[in-house]
Structures are given as C-alpha cells and as structure tokens.
C-alpha cells in the first residue's frame, strides 16, 4: 500500500529569511515557533512513517506584511529553494509554490513560473492574505488562471487579522483560529460560487475540513433564508462543497474523519501528516492506528493518485 502526503511543510532557510526580511515574528503571529526541519530529517520521517511521496508546501505565517515587492521576492526565493530540493529527490518529494497574494498580478506570474519552469505540482494559498479572503472577487483573475490550468491548490489556514487577545484561542492559532479561518474562507468561497464558477481547480482543504462538516447544513439553511429575503444570492452549498478535496492532517480519529465522511465523497479524502509542525513521534503513533484499517488504502493511495493525475508515473 502506497501513501502520498498532501500536508507536509518545508521550513527552509529561504522561508526563515523571508520572515526576517518581512519583519514577521511567527511566535507573535501564530503563538507557535517554526519547528526545526531539514531534507534529511523529512526523508527519514517518511521512511519511518511509510510515506512514499510528500508534497511540500511553505508553512505559515503567510508571506505578506503590506510590502508587495518584498512579498514577491520572498515567494520567488522560497519557491526556487523548494524546486531545488525536490528536483534532487523527485522520486520522493514534490512541491506546491507559494503565491504573494493579495498581489494578484504577481500571483499569476508566480504561478506560471512555478508550474512551467520549476515543476511545481500546484500552488499553496493561505485562507486570508492581509485580511482578504479566498472567494473575494479581487482574486477572480487568479482563479481564471488556475482554472485554465486545472491547478492543484492546497489551502492552509492563517490567523484572522482581528482576534480576541485575552483568551487562549486568540493566543495560539492552532487551537481555534486555524480551523475557524479555514471554515471562514471556504464558506466565503461557497457564497461566491468559486467551485462551480472555476470547476477545474483541485482544491485541498486541510484538517478534515475544520468546522465545515458542521457548518455545511447550517450554511445551507441560513443562506436559503437570506436568499429568499433578497439579502444574498442563491447558492447551492452542497454542489460547491462537492468539488472540494480534504486532507486528514491533525487528529482525524476518533471523531473528525467520521464527521467528514458524513458530508464528503469518500473519493475526495487524502492523507496529510502535518510534519514537522506535528512532531514525528506523534504522527507515527496516529498513522500506525490508521494503518490498521484496510480501508485506508483508498485515502493513502487511490484518491491521491487520482487527484494528482499522475497517470503513468510510478510512486
């Protein structure tokens, strides 16, 4: 049984330098330090975990501090380094390029560079970029480009620009802000019909869909009421949701994967480790439990290969 990992981060020197250049402190931003990472450690982790292929993406924080030029430079440096790393280990590693949003023009140019020249498997995008969320009409030209290419786009949460500071959920983003912002972003995408307007984009939503398994029926009900009152356009939330894919990084068992399966097509669920932000020993323990379920072959391998459209490529 092969296993492909859609949620793995490369905390490269270029990313660390970008944080310095942009004046972004990951601990102040997200309440969590950047973990140690190296190519050698990542490959060793993959071997221990029985992961055959990992798609690397840049971690958070998102590379934007209001300076568009610095964000463009950061994206290029990070993606160049990811391309160099994965080209040396192309049988084990691929990558998705980071985009310097909310600069749409630069994001379109970086998409072309990464996918046409650097060999990126797709692109990575944050839930919000400087407070502008996925689904915003500002990003429609980029959506058109990604749709034209049939781009694999991996979503990763970052914290909202405003949050309560006197509670634990406002201090450590991984506890609540990450799943909340994922849910907020995807609901905005649903409301703006992103998945049906741009049906060729292959979106991967992290962490078992965050709060979406609960919110799907609630959003459907409330949006139906609002549209009947002329307060929003009518949207088929379930049709939008049906075009999404989901990784199971985080704590899929015993509850979250079961909840996701209640609302998502089984063929749209893929594996994610969240290494190195989830320490190796913790990921290994969780994965050993998952490995005991023979149905995981579909998530580990079959769904992944179909999503990546590898065709004849052997993994």
Residue 61's pLDDT band (cuts 50, 70, 90): very high
Per-residue model confidence (pLDDT) at position 314: 46
DSSP single-letter state for residue 124: E
Cβ pair 134, 127 in contact under 8 A? yes
* Average pLDDT for 68-83: 98
CA distance 237 to 225: 13
When pLDDT is averaged across residues 83-87 and rounded to a whole number, the result is: 98
The tens digit of pLDDT for each residue in 175-230 reads 888 999 999 999 999 999 999 999 999 999 999 999 999 999 898 888 888 888 88
Question: Per residue in 222-261, pLDDT tens?
Answer: 888 888 888 888 889 899 999 999 999 999 999 999 999 9
Tens of pLDDT, residue by residue over 283-307, are: 999 999 999 998 899 999 999 999 9
> Which pLDDT score, from 0 to 100, does residue 315 have?
52
Whole-angstrom Cα distance, residue 179 to residue 153?
Answer: 18
pLDDT value at residue 52:
97
Range 4-308: architecture per CATH: Alpha-Beta Barrel (3.20)
Residue, of 168 and 105, whose pLDDT is higher: 105
Query: In which residue are the tokens 């509850």 written?
Result: 255
Spell out a b/e string for 121-136, using b for 16 or more CB atoms within 10 Å of the CB, else e: bbbbbbbbbeebbbbb
For residue 229, what pLDDT is reported?
86
Range 7-41 burial, b when 16+ CB lie within 10 A, else e: bbbbbbebbeebbebbebebeebbbbebeebebee
CA distance 33 to 29: 9
Which residue spans within 109-264 are E strands per DSSP? 122-126, 128-129, 132-133, 152-156, 202-205, 245-247
Give me the chain's average pLDDT, please.
93
| Segment 144-163, tens digit of pLDDT | 999 999 999 999 999 888 77
Query: Distance between CA atoms of 310 and 108, rounded to whole angstroms?
Result: 24
């Amino acid at each position: 049984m092969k296993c492909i990992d859609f949620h793995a981060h490369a905390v490269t020197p270029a990313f660390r330098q970008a944080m310095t250049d942009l004046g972004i402190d990951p601990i102040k931003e997200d309440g969590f330090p950047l973990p140690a990472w190296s190519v050698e450690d990542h490959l060793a982790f993959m071997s221990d975990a029985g992961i055959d292929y990992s798609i690397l993406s840049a971690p958070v924080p998102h590379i934007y501090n209001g300076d568009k030029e610095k964000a463009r430079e950061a994206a290029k440096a990070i993606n160049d380094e990811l391309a160099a790393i994965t080209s040396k280990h192309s049988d084990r590693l691929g990558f998705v390029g980071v985009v310097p949003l909310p600069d749409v023009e630069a994001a379109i140019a970086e998409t072309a560079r990464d996918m046409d020249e650097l060999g990126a498997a797709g692109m990575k995008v944050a839930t919000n970029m400087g407070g502008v969320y996925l689904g915003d009409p500002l990003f429609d030209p980029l959506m058109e480009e990604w749709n034209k290419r049939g781009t694999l786009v991996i979503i990763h949460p970052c914290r909202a620009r405003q949050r309560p500071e006197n509670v634990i959920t406002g201090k450590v983003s991984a506890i609540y802000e990450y799943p909340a912002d994922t849910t907020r972003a995807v609901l905005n995408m649903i409301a703006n019909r992103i998945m049906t307007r741009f049906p060729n984009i292959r979106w991967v939503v992290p962490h078992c869909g965050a709060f979406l398994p609960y919110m799907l029926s609630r959003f459907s009900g409330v949006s139906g009421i609002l549209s009947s009152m002329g307060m929003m356009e009518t949207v088929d939330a379930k049709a939008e949701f049906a075009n999404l894919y989901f990784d199971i990084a985080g704590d899929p068992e015993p509850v979250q994967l079961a909840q996701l399966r209640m609302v998502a097509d089984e063929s749209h669920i893929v594996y994610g480790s969240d290494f190195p932000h989830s320490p190796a020993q913790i990921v290994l323990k969780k994965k050993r439990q998952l490995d005991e379920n023979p149905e995981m072959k579909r998530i580990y391998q079959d769904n992944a290969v179909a999503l990546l459209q590898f065709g004849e490529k052997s993994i």
